A and B are shown apart, each in its own frame.
Chain A
Amino acid sequence: MSAAADPDLEAFRTEARSWLAANFPPSLAGQGAVMLREGGPGAGADFLRWKKAMGERGWGTPSWPKAYGGGGLSKAQARVLQDEMARIGAFSPIGGMGVMMFGPTLLEYGSEEQKKKYVPGIVTGTTWWCQGYSEPGAGSDLAALRTQCIDKGDHYLVNGQKIWTSGAQYADMCFALVRTDNTRKHEGISFLLIDMKSPGIEVRPIRLIGGNSPFCETFFTDVKVPKENLMGPLGGGWTIGKRLLQFERAGLGGNIGGASGLGRSGESRGLDQVAKAYVGARDDGRLADADLRARIASHMMDIRAFMLTVQRAAGEAKSNQGPSATTSIMKNAGSRIGQERSELLIEMMGHQGLGWEGDGFTRGELDTVRGWLGGKATTIYGGSQEIQNNIIAKRILGLLDHQ
């Protein structure tokens, strides 16, 4: 943004700045990551007030159309809003799968009635959506899904099992891929919106190796779904579902530099500082363990290379060269670097990096262990590392199975 900026944009900046000053509770400044991870239902009055204000203004979904409650901002205005929020440590309190994944898909493929019915709840953060995609037999091979959706004339009847439905225990609604035709693999899939309070739905949280339960198994037994809840054409679910995954991966890629990948789970100091604290340094400042020192340096170089690639991709995108080929490597590179960071942390903490609970370990040590375990999922979810490599090999490099 140069000094000779667009006057309309500068007017918007003034407007945004004064609105934020009037509405963002200063007590929340810089708390975004913490609030969004641990907030939710237990969040305090300031958070709820902020969420209400942003929801009503539509600025949690700044570029969504005003007609459905969105902010109606141009891309340039949305960037200004982001700058102004960052300046005062503000964050969007409107999140979840509705905003990140389902909403953009709904705007693209939903009927007018569906948009009117569902977008406002996402914009205000009052409707929580979960994703009904994977099944025990349909993970990487998602199109192998078998959850049956049968046309009963005045309604659909759904039977089957979904897995990795994140947050299903709190969700109001589920966007699901269901099978409406057993004779065709991809064309037999439809995209259905299911009310989680429907009779016949059972949700069981899955405990993960890190001890938390962010995902569920969801069972559907003779669940009746109104026919108007089909989104897009019958048998058109695969196209819509794939489009939604693009929004998901874009989100995950963006997160890699933030919370999920290179994030500072448990330990906010730099690796070199942690290493010196646990392993010790010689008089000249070198780490006492030369082997570990070399591996930390190699890791720090990987992070630097990744960050430079993020910058390069952003630059290329801005100069309208079209989507950069580098985006395809982001998920694998970022998740691998994040996992290596955790492995290095627990290794340098030594025995103190093996704690599960109790007084023998600091909070930071325990969080590091839990973060290390939880981070193992980053190379599995959102398209596993193997699937990403297939995409790179086949779509980018042109290496086909049979040539």
Chain B
Amino acid sequence: MAVLTEEQSMIRDAAKSWVQARSPVAAFRKLRDAGNDEGFDRGVWREMAEMGWTGILIPEEFGGTGLGYLTLGLVLEEAGRTLTASPLLATALTATTALLLAGSDAQKHKYLPAIAEGTLIATLAVDEGPHHAPEKIALGGFESGNGKVTLNGRKTFVLEGGTAGLVIVAARTSGKPGDASGITLVLVDGAAPRGLTRDRLRTADSRGYANLTFQDVEGEVLGALDHGGGVLETTLDRARAGLAAEMLGQALQSFEVTLDYLKTREQFGQKIGTFQALQHRAAKMFTDLELARSCVEGALSAIDRDANDVAQLASLAKAKAGDLVHLVSNEMVQMHGGIGMTDAHDAGLYLKRARAQEATFGASSYHRDRYATLLGY
């Protein structure tokens, strides 16, 4: 655990007790069983805003607390422990980051206070195919005057895409897919913008994803026309680090539940945790958890320090957290045996969520490749 300030410790403790009381795994299970169409509980989201979590990145002048990424990461980690479904990552981290990095004063005033209050759900729309590939953005936009861009094309697997009142679209306004320049971030505002179709996706992890189709949808430019690629990459790196924090919390909880089972389940007249084969697998998971924690906290702290190796650390954290959550979610099922295969047990919920997190903002293989590229080989 990183050395925390007193304020950070307080926020983490508050998050821990709120999550256990108000958002246990049972709450997520209930949401899933009810076939909730939005992918999260509005009441829970309101409470998260009241706790101040939606404004952790937002400066005081816009209604937030400006405490930074490590602090938000602590909350995401605790929320991840119980599979809390909420727009926190998409809105309070990802969209907020893009607005902070590139927004005009007017844009910040318009959106940030609403995000801090919890009244605006915002998201970033990047991918256009089955895999995370910001370098392949093709969705077209053309300047339609007055700082506006008109969009045509499709975005896939947009987090909270069914409910977001603000969609930040990464569009290609010049050049061709693969070019470094020519990317523009565009703000598509409103519950039902003209020409926008939202197709809700029913996923194994029961979250609020949607595919979005844009047909002559007009939006305002966020930042500089044709030069949004840098902001997009920085935003994505911060989102990756935040998602890695959520994955860390989820892996930790899976591990602790499994460890508890090893200490209580008896077969052959003894606790199964006395079998060395299982002990060593538990020790391996613990080792991986500790290594991944260092990477996640290292990436979040580097963002707060505005260090020059954030990109490397973000890819490191996302790849390590991905491998960790993959291993631990499989072991959770296997070590629980038959009971872990039942829907009534939580192991399946953790397993399904793990694969969705692994694919979001780049799988481990994507980040290993990117890490090599960043290091010049």
A interface residues with partner B (beta carbon < 8 Å): 134, 136-137, 139-141, 144, 163-164, 206-209, 211, 278-279, 289-292, 295, 346-347, 349-361, 369, 373, 376-377, 379-381, 384-386, 389
Q: A141-B267, A207-B344, A208-B342 are in contact. Are A350 and B130 (CB under 8 A)?
A: yes
Residues of B within 8 A of A291 (CB): 365, 368-369
Closest 9 CB pairs of A and B: A209-B348, A350-B130, A291-B365, A358-B202, A141-B267, A350-B131, A351-B157, A207-B343, A360-B201
Q: How far is the CA of A369 from the CA of B352 in the complex (A)?
A: 9
Q: Is the CB of A380 within 8 A of B202?
A: no
Q: Is the CB of A278 within 8 A of B337?
A: no
Residues of B within 8 A of A346 (CB): 355
- Interface segment among B103-111, B203-211, B213-221, B230-238: the answer is B203-211
Q: Is the CB of B369 within 8 A of A290?
A: yes
Chain B, range 331-377, C-beta contacts under 8 Å to A: 333-334, 337-344, 347-348, 351-352, 355-356, 358-359, 363, 365-366, 368-369
Q: Is B175 an interface residue (CB 8 A)?
A: no
Q: Which of A139, A353, A376, A389 contacts B359 (CB 8 A)?
A: A353
Q: A350-B129, A351-B359, A356-B204 are in contact. Are A381 and B368 (CB under 8 A)?
A: no
Q: Is the CB of A380 within 8 A of B341?
A: yes
B interface residues with partner A (beta carbon < 8 Å): 127, 129-132, 156-157, 199-206, 209, 211, 266-269, 275, 277-278, 330, 333-334, 337-344, 347-348, 351-352, 355-356, 358-359, 363, 365-366, 368-369
Q: What are 19 A-B interface contacts by the 8 Å CB criterion?
A: A139-B267, A207-B344, A209-B342, A209-B351, A289-B369, A291-B365, A291-B368, A347-B359, A349-B130, A353-B359, A355-B201, A355-B203, A358-B202, A360-B201, A373-B348, A376-B334, A376-B340, A379-B334, A389-B277
Closest chain A CB from B111 CB (angstroms): 27
Q: Determine the residue in chain A with the shortest Cβ distance to B358.
A: A347
Residues of B within 8 A of A289 (CB): 365-366, 369
Q: Is the CB of A350 within 8 A of B338?
A: no
Q: Is the CB of B343 within 8 A of A354?
A: no
Q: Determine the residue in chain A with the shortest Cβ distance to B342.
A: A206
Q: Is the CB of A352 within 8 A of B130?
A: yes
Q: How far is the CA of A380 from the CA of B206 in the complex (A)?
A: 26
Q: Is the CB of A351 within 8 A of B206?
A: no
Residues of B within 8 A of A347 (CB): 355, 358-359, 363, 365
Q: Is the CB of B202 within 8 A of A209?
A: no
Q: How far is the CA of A178 from the CA of B49 in the complex (A)?
A: 57
Counting chain B CB atoms within 10 Å of each CB, which of A164, A353, A369, A385 scores highest? A353
Closest chain B CB from A366 CB (angstroms): 9
Q: Is the CB of B203 within 8 A of A356?
A: yes
Q: Determine the residue in chain A with the shortest Cβ distance to B360.
A: A351
Counting chain B CB atoms within 10 Å of each CB, which of A208, A349, A369 scores highest? A208
Q: Is the CB of B130 within 8 A of A373?
A: no
Closest chain A CB from B335 CB (angstroms): 9
Q: How far is the CA of A289 from the CA of B132 in the complex (A)?
A: 12
Residues of B within 8 A of A357 (CB): 202
Residues of B within 8 A of A290 (CB): 369
Closest chain A CB from B254 CB (angstroms): 14
Q: A141-B267, A207-B343, A350-B130 are in contact. Are A380 and B338 (CB under 8 A)?
A: yes
Q: Is the CB of A163 within 8 A of B199?
A: no
Q: A350-B359, A351-B130, A351-B157 are in contact. Are A369 and B204 (CB under 8 A)?
A: yes
Q: How far is the CA of A144 from the CA of B132 in the complex (A)?
A: 50
Q: How far is the CA of A360 from the CA of B277 in the complex (A)?
A: 42
Q: A279-B131, A350-B131 are in contact. Are A209 and B347 (CB under 8 A)?
A: yes
Q: Is the CB of B131 within 8 A of A351?
A: yes
Q: Is the CB of B337 within 8 A of A380?
A: yes
Q: How far is the CA of A379 from the CA of B157 in the complex (A)?
A: 32
Q: Determine the residue in chain B with the shortest Cβ distance to A351.
A: B157
Residues of B within 8 A of A279 (CB): 131
Residues of B within 8 A of A352 (CB): 130
Closest chain B CB from A120 CB (angstroms): 33
Closest chain A CB from B332 CB (angstroms): 10
Q: Which of A136, A385, A389 contacts B334 (CB 8 A)?
A: A385
Q: Is the CB of A292 within 8 A of B365?
A: yes
Q: Which of B278, B338, B344, B365 contacts A164 (CB 8 A)?
A: B338
Q: Is the CB of B365 within 8 A of A139?
A: no
Q: Determine the residue in chain A with the shortest Cβ distance to B267.
A: A141
Residues of B within 8 A of A385 (CB): 334
Q: Is the CB of A377 within 8 A of B131?
A: no
Q: How far is the CA of A206 from the CA of B259 in the complex (A)?
A: 24
Q: How far is the CA of A41 from the CA of B337 in the complex (A)?
A: 31
Q: How far is the CA of A349 from the CA of B358 in the complex (A)?
A: 12
Q: Which of B266, B334, B359 contacts A354 (CB 8 A)?
A: B359
